[in-house]
Structure 1
Amino acid sequence: MTTVSLTDVSGYLPGEPVPAEFYTAYPGAEDKLRDSPMFRVPPLRHHVAPGETNVDLIERATRPLIERHGAAEIRSVDVLLVHSQLPDIPFVGAGTEVARRLGLKPRWLIDVANAGCASFVHMLQLARQLLTGTDARTALICNAQTTAGQLFTQSEVRGLAQAAIPGDGCGVGYLTTSAAAPVLDVVARHLGDHAGEMTAVLDDGRRYWEPGASQLRIGFTESGVAEVLARGNRLVPEVVTELCEGLGVGTEEIDLLVTNQPNRTFLTNWREALGLPPERHADTFDLCGNLFGAGIPVTLDQAVRAGRVRDGDLVVLGGFAHAGDYAGAAAIRWNAGGTAAA
């Protein structure tokens, strides 16, 4: 069977760090969720600039890959997968514009709409299938997150507990059919029972494309948050444990765990459930907040740059999406190959 490797990863964070006071000092409406562990405020996050798009972030996140591997190699990728949150325009995905901007001519180009905060794992699985099941040999998987500086800074949303948690950023993975840093396995669950439980709300009852004055926000409720906390605490350890059992290793043998990072409560509970000390569970929550789908590749990139990942390490990526409609985990035997750690 063809071996597929996560050969390299890179990330990009827009602008200067935005302090918590940008939100906590802003007058807000009464919000019963303000003391929830789901919404404990990180010190910093990044915001896209006005007019900065998903494609802009992906282009900037890809530059280190071009510098390390050469423009010709990156431009020749066979597969391009893109997850954008928030989409910049209706109808048209970001993928074709990414291809144009980077000079790519992929044979497989897919804008991925599902798997949310764990979409990097989902795209890793999709790319792996394409690289083993077709004659494609290289892939770029891209996560762009631009919601924080746009949706959550609206005047009627900024004062809500939910607003201070997200941050913007982008992460890109480069996959090849090589043994450089092999993807050992991927476990994924699409959980239709929880589909539709994450909702967008407009207080005047209109649909988001209809004219009106109310501002779009996420429809969190006390009961809904409690359910998501309980579900998320269970889902990520379950898929990571299933992954490790399939590989014949214990979860305590994971050298580095990288997950999505909705809040500090999840991060603590996940590593404790898996028997890992804090130093083996990387996160960028205090610096970046909840980066949604970009959280896994951005955090992995920063861990690699900081020298936290050694050749031969078992690296596990894991997370869940939305209110729990997807959960996935992937295992990689890391090997920088003289490029990813450069």
Structure 2
Amino acid sequence: MTTTTPQESILDLATYLPETRVPADYFVQYAEDDALIDNVMFRAPEFRHHAADGETSADMMVTAAHVLTDRHGDDFFDDVDAVLTHSQLPEVPIRGCGGEVAHRLGLRPSTVLDVHNGGCVAFIHLIDLAGALLRANGGRRALIALAQNSAAQIFTQEQVRGKAQAAIPGDGAAVAVLTAETDSGSPILGLSCHSYGQYSGDMTGVTEPPRKYWEAGTGQLHIGFTEAKIAKVLARGNRMVPEAAIEVADSVGIAPADLDWLVTNQPNRIFLRNWREALELPEERHPDTFDECGNMFAVGIPVTLDTAISDGRIREGDVVMMAAFAHAGDFAGAAALRWAGRR
């Protein structure tokens, strides 16, 4: 467990959605006799975005980063001392794409860190890690970048696209710049992360016939869902996200029902409803992008946050609680942010 009172602020964030916008009908035409088709976990969004063929995590992250330089100037990344990235599906075995992202943006950071285990909590997790690095090393700014790139690559495979799970994910990317300068940006008021290692083996990638994911074979990789596993995930997720949000709200002295906004990951509509009801928040204070973007895993929180900022719902001075759980419940976290506007 880590519970911190951070000293960092987010200077700004930006996001990217691939051009290809895929309607639910795309998956209907391939639907097969899946025993999980009526499960609440797999009620499909209206749309999702798919990365183009050959479009990598680094490509999407760099495109999102260029939104920030277009907005603030080419020198916006000049003081970046650390680059932290998270890819849902690292394209290159062993390493991530942080070094490539830093190089393509012309950065010379002292630290490049690729973080693979944060799942849907990765935005919060990277804020926590970046803040710790800045405090420890005396750095000024950190760039955090995330990509969800498995929708087009995994869930449109011939053997996978007919399964109920295939219609839920969408692709996209997000970046944010964190600063150790306490007099600028939108301050992180409080943050908490919890690891639940006892659940870390409950979400698995499977093939038919079975094989290790790196072995050659005919089966195409997908998530090994069963009714029993889904029941466990629903129970854990329903509990973990409100618990994390309430913990952080208590630490900063705000009653959960008095939060201006709740922004969460978005696996499905049932979770979204249950989480806001647990925190006694009305639907209009819990924005989501599920019907446009589907489940974007780690990118869901920053995409929804950026959307609500850009369309004017989140205003200067508003307190935003970000909360999520990952995988089958092996990680959960929350962070409170006071939005200070875009300068």
State the TM-score, normalizing by the size of structure 2: 0.96
Q: 1:48 aligns with which of 40, 48, 51?
A: 51
Q: Please state how far the C-alpha of 1:167 moved relative to its aligned partner.
A: 0.2
Aligned length: 337
Q: 1:67 aligns with which of 63, 67, 70?
A: 70
Answer yes or no: is 1:135 the counterpart of 2:138. yes
1:70-113 Cα offsets, whole Å, 9 max, x none, are 22231431111000011111122100110111111111110001
AA aligned to 1:155 is: E
Answer yes or no: is 1:85 the counterpart of 2:85. no
Gaps (5+ residues) in structure 1? none
Q: Which stretch shows the higher mean deviation, 67-76 or 85-94?
A: 67-76
Give the structure 2 partner of residue 229 of structure 1: 234
AA aligned to 1:252 is: A
Q: Which stretch shows the higher mean deviation, 69-78 or 156-165?
A: 69-78
Structure-2 separation of matches of 1:66 and 1:54: 19
Q: Please state how far the C-alpha of 1:33 moved relative to its aligned partner.
A: 0.9
AA aligned to 1:10 is: A
Answer yes or no: is 1:296 the counterpart of 2:311. no
1:173-224 Cα offsets, whole Å, 9 max, x none, are 1111233211111011011111111100011221111111111010000100
AA aligned to 1:271 is: R
AA aligned to 1:26 is: Y
Give the structure 1 partner of residue 26 of structure 2: 22
Give the structure 1 partner of residue 188 of structure 2: 183
Give the structure 1 partner of residue 265 of structure 2: 260
Q: Tell me, yes or no, if the aligned pair for 2:6 and 2:188 is still in contact at 8 Å.
A: no
Partner secondary structure for residue 109 of structure 2: coil
Answer yes or no: is 1:121 the counterpart of 2:124. yes
Structure-2 separation of matches of 1:85 and 1:3: 28
Answer yes or no: is 1:312 the counterpart of 2:322. no
Q: Please state how far the C-alpha of 1:64 moved relative to its aligned partner.
A: 1.4
AA aligned to 1:22 is: Y
State the TM-score, normalizing by the size of structure 1: 0.96
Q: Please state how far the C-alpha of 1:132 moved relative to its aligned partner.
A: 2.2
Structure-2 separation of matches of 1:205 and 1:243: 42
Q: Tell me, yes or no, if the aligned pair for 2:49 and 2:293 is still in contact at 8 Å.
A: yes
| Cα-Cα RMSD | 1.2
Amino-acid identity (%):
52
Give the structure 1 partner of residue 212 of structure 2: 207
Structure-1 separation of matches of 2:35 and 2:163: 10
1:255-296 Cα offsets, whole Å, 9 max, x none, are 111110000000010001001111111110000000010111
Structure-2 separation of matches of 1:160 and 1:197: 19
